[in-house]
Amino acid sequence: MADCLFCRIVAGEVPATIVAETADTIAFRDINPQAPVHVLVIPREHHTDIAALAAADPGLAGRLCADAAAVAKGEGVGGAFRLVFNTGAEVGQSVFHVHCHVLGGRPFTWPPG
Ligand code: 5GP
Ligand code: ZN
């Protein structure tokens, strides 16, 4: 999608600090990190959110989660990390290309605010 920021990162039209790539996914550092480790993992293919992705291609949704866990390990936080898929503007989704936040490197509270 030409007007999608994360499709533009996939296409190399918008710069990003890429930390990992697979055939299906890319992982890059969040521009406004909320933790010492804050990486976004996205499918190269455009899907609006995790619900749409899981419905369209559950295998890709699974690979996205596996790649997110591999990123946590690669960032040195494989033993304790949080994965977040904001789904819907009301809960904070601001980019409507599915992305998994990989967060770690500091304590987190539960439940989230
Ligand atoms: P959401 O709020 O949709 O769950 O998460 C979107 C995330 O994308 C935010 O954490 C925000 O900081 C990040 N973000 C927005 N624009 C850019 C950008 O141009 N580059 C990078 N690397 N991250 C971005
Ligand atoms: Zn997109």
6-27 pLDDT, tens per residue? 999 999 999 999 999 999 999 9
Residue 105 Cα to ligand 2 middle (Å):
28
| CA 83 – CA 72 distance, rounded (Å) | 9
| Residue 29 pLDDT exceeds 90 | yes
Give the model confidence (pLDDT) of 56-70 as tens digits. Answer: 999 999 999 999 999
- On whether the pTM is more than 0.75, the answer is yes
Please state the atom number of ligand 1 nearest to the C-alpha of residue 29: 22
CA-closest residue to ligand 1 atom 8: 30
Looking only at the bridges linking them, the beta strands covering 25-29 and 18-21 are antiparallel
Residue 47 annotated in active site: no
- How far out from the chain centre does Cα 82 lie? 11
Q: What is the pLDDT of residues 63-89, one digit of tens each?
A: 999 999 999 999 999 999 999 999 999
Q: What is the CA radius of gyration of the chain?
A: 13
Please give the order of strands across the beta sheet that includes 18-21: 18-21, 25-29, 37-43, 100-104, 82-84
Domain 5-104 fold is HIT family, subunit A (3.30.428)
Residue 37 Cα to ligand 1 middle (Å) = 14
